[in-house]
């Protein structure tokens, strides 16, 4: 008997998707999810069946600009062909933007060193927004949001920003940067958009939305800096404002140490 050596390729997918039509990233019985749509497309291309490893869960309605997932396959196909083939089988709401090959040990979730989330807040409703931003009609002061955001930077226990439904005990994370800008909406320039970008070594359950919820309350003038400090220090979710809605949230980037992707 001759032993058969199976050589498997670790395929890394970069994805953008509009979360509105999906019940989040993770596979669910009888509900459309991004993971299920992709696994179906991978099978339809003759590369499956596979189980995709995602770089994290995104909630229903949350979008992604550059989500990373990977899977192992024994089939051989050039990366460029995989991209084309998958896109031909995917609905318009999901797009594979890049396909790469990685060392067999690479895992899109375990090896992520940080993530960047982006959040959009619109000052009024527009028919062109379609679930892509949170509409806040009250005046929001960007300067006040920036002042409050500086209190969230660094290594801290972020228990006040972790929604229930998570079993994570250690809530210490490092928020590396928060940048806040005002811009005009390309499709309807009469709409003003505030974008908030948060980079952290990891995000607790709903941490990005809970942070934006607090920053908008600060921007509305409903929370002073002293109150924001107290909320952070309390390590108690019940004292912080409600989360910003899923519509405005985008996973913008997943960062990896260079050696993990290439070693």
Tell me if 80 contacts a second copy by CB under 8 A.
no
Tell me if 193 contacts a second copy by CB under 8 A.
yes
Tell me if 157 contacts a second copy by CB under 8 A.
no
252 φ, ψ (degrees, to nearest 5): -95, -35
Interface mask (CB under 8 A) for a second copy, residues 198-237, using x and -?
----------------------------------------
Q: Contact 203/118 with Cβ under 8 angstroms? A: no
Tell me if 42 contacts a second copy by CB under 8 A.
no
Tell me if 130 contacts a second copy by CB under 8 A.
yes
Which of 103, 128, 242, 257 binds a second copy (CB under 8 A)? It is 128
Neighbouring C-beta atoms of residue 115, cutoff 10 Å: 21
3 state SS of 105: coil
CA atoms within 13 A on the CB side of 84: 5
Tell me if 183 contacts a second copy by CB under 8 A.
yes
Tell me if 187 contacts a second copy by CB under 8 A.
yes
Q: Is 141 a catalytic residue?
A: no
- In this complex, which beta carbon is closest to a second copy, that of residue 97 or of residue 224? 97
- In this complex, which beta carbon is closest to a second copy, that of residue 148 or of residue 194? 194
3 state SS of 118: strand
Tell me if 99 contacts a second copy by CB under 8 A.
no
Tell me if 17 contacts a second copy by CB under 8 A.
yes
The residues with which 63 forms a beta bridge, in sequence order, are: 250
Which of 164, 165, 186, 238 binds a second copy (CB under 8 A)? It is 186
- Take residue 240 and report the two structure tokens written for it: 């912080």
The residues with which 116 forms a beta bridge, in sequence order, are: 199, 253
Which of 55, 132, 162, 210 binds a second copy (CB under 8 A)? It is 132
Count of helices and strands (H, E) across the chain: 6, 10
Tell me if 33 contacts a second copy by CB under 8 A.
no
Which of 18, 83, 115, 209 binds a second copy (CB under 8 A)? It is 18
Query: C-beta of 11: minimal distance to a second copy in Å?
Result: 21
Tell me if 120 contacts a second copy by CB under 8 A.
yes
Closest CA relative to residue 210, chosen from 163, 147, 146, 150:
163
What DSSP letter does each residue of 122-183 carry, written as one string?
ESS--TTTSSSSEE--S---HHHHHHHHHTT-EEEE-GGG--SS------EEEEEEEEEEEE
Q: Contact 107/261 with Cβ under 8 angstroms? A: no
> Annotated active-site positions, please?
59
Residues of this chain that interact with a second copy (CB under 8 A) are 16-18, 63, 65-66, 92-95, 97, 120, 125-128, 130, 132, 183-190, 193, 195
């Amino acid at each position: 008997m001759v032993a058969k050596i199976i050589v498997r390729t670790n395929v890394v997918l970069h994805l953008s998707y509009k979360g509105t039509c999906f019940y989040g990233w993770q596979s669910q019985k009888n509900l459309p999810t991004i993971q299920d749509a992709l696994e179906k497309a991978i099978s339809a291309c003759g590369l499956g069946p596979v189980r995709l490893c995602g770089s994290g869960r995104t909630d229903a309605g949350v979008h992604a600009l550059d989500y990373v997932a990977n899977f192992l396959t024994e089939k051989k196909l050039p990366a460029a062909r995989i991209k084309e083939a998958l896109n031909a089988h995917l609905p318009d709401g999901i797009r594979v933007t890049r396909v790469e090959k990685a060392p067999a040990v690479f895992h899109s979730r375990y090896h992520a060193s940080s993530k960047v989330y982006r959040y959009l807040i619109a000052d009024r409703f527009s028919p062109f927004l379609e679930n892509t931003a949170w509409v806040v009609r009250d005046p929001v002061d960007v300067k006040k949001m920036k002042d409050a955001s500086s209190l969230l930077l660094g290594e801290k226990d972020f228990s006040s920003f972790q929604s229930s439904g998570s079993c994570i005990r250690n809530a210490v994370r490092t928020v590396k940067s928060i940048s806040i800008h005002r811009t005009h909406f390309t499709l309807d320039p009469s709409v003003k958009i505030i974008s908030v970008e948060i980079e952290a070594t990891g995000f607790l359950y709903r941490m990005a939305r809970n942070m934006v919820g607090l920053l908008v309350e600060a921007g509305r003038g409903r929370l002073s800096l002293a109150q924001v400090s107290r909320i952070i220090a309390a390590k108690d979710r019940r004292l912080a404002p409600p989360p910003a809605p899923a519509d405005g949230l985008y996973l913008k980037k997943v960062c990896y140490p260079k050696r993990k992707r290439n070693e």
